[in-house]
Amino acid sequence: RSKSAGRNCFTIYDEAMSAELEARNTLEGDLRDAIAQCQLEVHYQPFMDVASGGRRGFEALVRWRHPSRGLIPPDQFIGLAEETGLIVPLGEFVLRRACADAAAWPCDLMVAVNLSPIQFKEAELFETICAALADSGLAPQRLEIEITESVLLERGVENLAFMERLKHIGIELALDDFGTGYSSLSYLTTFPFDKIKIDKSFIRNLTHQPRSSAIIASIVTLARGLDMSVTAEGVETREEFERLTALGVNFAQGYLFGRPRPVDQIEFDAPVRASQRDAA
């Protein structure tokens, strides 16, 4: 029990706070160990090219295989990783893993990696990305970096210069979760994005809310005018997909096409072997 029991009215509050702080410290220590002990895994979710009907690539999504708590989704530890700075080694791990995995795929599909705003503050981020590409042998044209609008709020000039450098070596840039948070249309003209990812909250109401359709239609028009493509996130039903196709989105991602999976569970069409091709 707390020694402050005499200071009655604050006691319960103190105890609740310290329990929370303790849980947080435990989780922080666990997360530190997780990075050192390779308990983090990268899963991959496909995104589809609407025009061809085939896959265009996969988004890399981190998971934590906790020794006692099982598989923990990123929403439960990315925030903590950002507060503690652990996002820097975590983010580098995901980037390196994703580049190495994609370099070994039997086809030229893209791999999309999420970067946290905190990583943007790291002076060596550009070198880290170049090293991940060089060490894996992945062509920069196959790497897409996803960033959320919150990144762009601070340090606009530095961020613009950084993004220009990424584009210059052939990396693609996607604006993630578009339509949530601090959306400002000026970001679209200021920063060199190739793609807008419409947040899944807009897709959810699509089939019963004409207003959502109107919003998506305007985003598609806007993106075309700016020479950017559009991905719809969180597509779960055939009806949603049909509606989105009619609205002109370029890419679609969601449970309808596949959940995020470990790399060894991704199916690739059997590559045509040279001997088979020669025989034909």
> For residue 103, how many other CB atoms are within 10 A of its CB?
15
Please tell me whether residue 74 binds ligand C2E under the rule CB under 6 A: yes
Q: Which stretch binds ligand C2E (CB under 6 A): 9-17, 68-76, 133-141, 158-166?
A: 68-76
* x-or-dash string of contact with Mg ion, 134-153, rule CB under 5 A: ------------x-------
Site track for ligand C2E across 138-167, x = CB under 6 A? --------x---------------------
- The region of 43-51, 100-108, 170-178, 239-247 touching Mg ion under the rule CB under 5 A is 170-178
Q: Binding of ligand C2E at residue 198 (CB under 6 A)?
A: no
**CA–CA separation, 209 and 198 (whole Å):** 16
φ and ψ of 29, to 5 deg: -65, -40
**Long-range contact set of residues 116-119: C-beta below 8 Å, sequence gap at least 24:** 116/78, 116/81, 116/82, 116/87, 116/91, 117/82, 117/147, 117/148, 117/150, 117/151, 117/154, 118/82, 118/85, 118/87, 118/88, 119/87, 119/88, 119/91
Min separation Cβ 103 and ligand C2E, Å: 18
Q: Does 177 bind ligand C2E (CB under 6 A)?
A: yes
Report what 54 binds from ligand C2E, Mg ion, none; CB cut-off 5-8 Å by kind: none
Site string for Mg ion, 210-229 (x = CB under 5 A): --------------------
